[in-house]
Structure 1
């Protein structure tokens, strides 16, 4: 890279990091999820505004082609931010399932997730899928993505909303996080299936090959099973081994090494990288005991804080940068998907919550929180778009749906708490515990 290229890249990173953090803080001040401001920063810097007003300036700063050095580096940072987001989300998949929540979790997961997924599968099969399909031209993959998008719930965003509102210690928070963790594990498995189908379709020149898909699915299933059973125990033994001086002397380096190893192996096996990063985070905390967890908490917090201040905001800003409202936006598609999927989720969670023994305001709180698509909804859109499964208008629809549903969740819970209403009737009035400056909960994500 020339000095001029390095200077342009440094300026691009400055604008992305500073813009995402400043607008993220502004969003928090306005009682909105921070991810809203981070995405808005990308929209301002992207083709919807800066690229429209000063296209030559935008091209010089952010690159104007696939082989442009700035484009290549920003593309790498985009994927790194995505992988770190999923890794940190995976580290939250522990200690969120208490005994009192097992029955309601089963109902909320069994009906609240399955019904929207199955309903979307049925509806998607009769839609004009041409408007939703990307370059892979795979109807089966598009149908799966639509179903996942209708059912997904955000672990990182609702965790941060709970943290900011001082309710992370409540039973309501542990219940919702437990459901979200189990749900996302299942739905990421379906996304791996969708990407496998798309890959097989592209390889076969537009005709999906059953044998190729079966191999992809088998490899993904094996990776998931090993990643949730054998590998966490293996990592625990490796981290305690006397020969492992890296784990003892530099826990951050050990954690990053595990993260990169998962991603590298997944890439070699053609497993969805974002899902592999999630499993890496799960394995880091899932294979250790209480003492080991305390030893790893500071390194994990350090990684989360740096990622949350730099790499993850860059990811969300680039997501916003890729939103081109001048070309890839369909208001009708957005309204139809947002309203339709929200109604299905709210009704499904309402039925599940009632069968689990909840009533009244409890059901409303659970339904609106479960409907927050947040980070996973955006990750789903990014992975599906990069794999050529979905079109640009549907990518924009999924990202905006994730943002709007997360805004609705944060606004409603803040309203309930300000009115002094309980989140769950069995808990009574909530004692909010504001975060202490300089501290962070175990499952942290700054967006």
Structure 2
């Protein structure tokens, strides 16, 4: 019980070690050519997964990643841990202090990046021939919601990691983009909850279904923020809190796991439990404590769990057998232009200069992790089939590539991201970067 044989442990550690090493290696190499590190980490899964290794050497792939019963579940568990840690880290980076001007910009961008893009995506579903991409639930309304979400969604985890990798997390630009992404993604996850609810009921859906699904999601979000803030504020740094005193990091991980579990039991996506745990910790704790927590979580997350998460995403894709490149190119062009133009116009309306507006448009166009999670949830719920699953994952990856590469060019050229960031000095991500910056003899 609760054990693996020595052979199984050795086999799993070999497979995981190879995947982790490949993720770090390709992540490092693509960074050298202005491509976000996360793209290289996903490429590791493509190289070692069904797309390349599994296609040319299927027996080797089967032996490495499906070598004993339950090995796939172990990778699935690491995948979920990586996603939770990524969302927790993103919550800890959530900006909480805004002046009036920044709050105005963020509010306008939330509206401008959510409503127009969602509406365009909703009506565009009628223009595309979506019938070949319907999943087992065979629910056109649910897939229309998923398409609208895929157009409007922004990635908190990936855009945070891009900012983190570039050393610009403390900039005004990063603060506004992350806050905007966080707020409007919460709204879109509520819509996804409704889509999965009606998909589970077949073609039968009522106003009661919508009210229950949306009400449960909003209730969990606001309840967690309200009560979580009070409890964190009053119960964390006290002498009687033995768990916090015994292990600060262990205490916060416990809270994160409990909130994620509670979200899952309430049929709200578990990742929002982790995200809200990070946000509440950021809001309620003294700055010194939250910074120490963020550093401790980031050290292990960005070296192990998060690269494994992105590599496992690539491991699930089979681009040889289940991918339509022509449809993908059209969908990518439509989604990218819709979101970027919506944000650009909104930014110009609130008197931002053209270069700032373009930067914001590309950054908010990053779909990354939430785009991948959207595809996974929709596929698991039977809303979409495997071909559209691959389309949405690749959409998330390419739209992470574009802003990551552009922002790296902006930072390296010393250009201003937006007014207020004129004298930005990028900060290295962690000690690994400092070590890597040394000249080897």
Query: TM-score higher than 0.5 here?
Result: yes
1:275 correspondence with 2:269: no
Q: CA deviation at 1:176?
A: 1.8
Distance 1:242 1:274, change over 3 A: same
1:364 correspondence with 2:367: no
Equivalent residues, number? 430
Q: Is the 8 A contact 2:362 2:403 kept in 1?
A: yes
The residue aligned with 2:426 is 433
How many angstroms apart in 1 are the aligned matches of 2:38 and 2:6?
Answer: 33
1:345 correspondence with 2:339: yes
Q: Is the 8 A contact 1:338 1:401 kept in 2?
A: yes
State the secondary structure of the residue aligned to 2:135: coil
How many angstroms apart in 2 are the aligned matches of 1:414 and 1:390?
Answer: 34
Q: Residues 215-364 of structure 1 correspond to what in structure 2 (within 5 A)?
A: 215-288=212-285, 291=286, 293-364=287-358
The residue aligned with 1:373 is 367
Distance 1:272 1:37, change over 3 A: same
Distance 1:257 1:140, change over 3 A: same
Structure 1: gaps of 5 or more residues: 441-447
Distance 1:360 1:436, change over 3 A: closer
Distance 1:270 1:182, change over 3 A: closer
Distance 1:102 1:218, change over 3 A: closer
Higher mean alpha-carbon deviation, 49-58 vs 152-161, is at 152-161
1:44 correspondence with 2:47: yes
The residue aligned with 1:123 is 124
Higher mean alpha-carbon deviation, 182-191 vs 313-322, is at 182-191
State the secondary structure of the residue aligned to 1:97: coil
How many angstroms apart in 1 are the aligned matches of 2:421 and 2:280?
Answer: 35
How many angstroms apart in 2 are the aligned matches of 1:263 and 1:60?
Answer: 33
Q: Write the deviation string for residues 83-125 of structure 1: whole angstroms up to 9, x where unpaired.
A: 2222222222232633221222222111222111111012224
How many angstroms apart in 2 are the aligned matches of 1:367 and 1:435?
Answer: 25
How many angstroms apart in 1 are the aligned matches of 2:140 and 2:108?
Answer: 31
Distance 1:137 1:213, change over 3 A: farther
Query: RMSD of aligned C-alpha atoms?
Result: 2.4
How many angstroms apart in 2 are the aligned matches of 1:99 and 1:5?
Answer: 57
The residue aligned with 1:97 is 98
Q: CA deviation at 1:241?
A: 4.4
1:168 correspondence with 2:169: yes
State the secondary structure of the residue aligned to 1:6: helix
The residue aligned with 2:19 is 16
Q: Residues 64-143 of structure 1 correspond to what in structure 2 (within 5 A)?
A: 68-95=69-96, 97-143=98-144
Q: 1:26 aligns with which of 18, 21, 29?
A: 29
How many angstroms apart in 1 are the aligned matches of 2:214 and 2:10?
Answer: 44
Q: Is the 8 A contact 1:107 1:355 kept in 2?
A: no
Q: CA deviation at 1:142?
A: 1.7
Q: 1:416 aligns with which of 410, 416, 419?
A: 410
How many angstroms apart in 1 are the aligned matches of 2:7 and 2:358?
Answer: 55
Distance 1:387 1:275, change over 3 A: farther
Q: Write the deviation string for residues 300-344 of structure 1: whole angstroms up to 9, x where unpaired.
A: 321222122111111111110111012210112211211001111
The residue aligned with 1:443 is none
How many angstroms apart in 2 are the aligned matches of 1:37 and 1:257?
Answer: 31
The two structures have a TM-score, normalised by structure 2, of 0.90
Q: 1:391 aligns with which of 375, 385, 390?
A: 385
The residue aligned with 2:38 is 35
Higher mean alpha-carbon deviation, 160-169 vs 18-27, is at 160-169
Q: Is the 8 A contact 2:110 2:184 kept in 1?
A: yes
The residue aligned with 1:60 is 63
Structure 2: gaps of 5 or more residues: 434-441
State the secondary structure of the residue aligned to 2:104: helix
The two structures have a TM-score, normalised by structure 1, of 0.89
Higher mean alpha-carbon deviation, 319-328 vs 301-310, is at 301-310
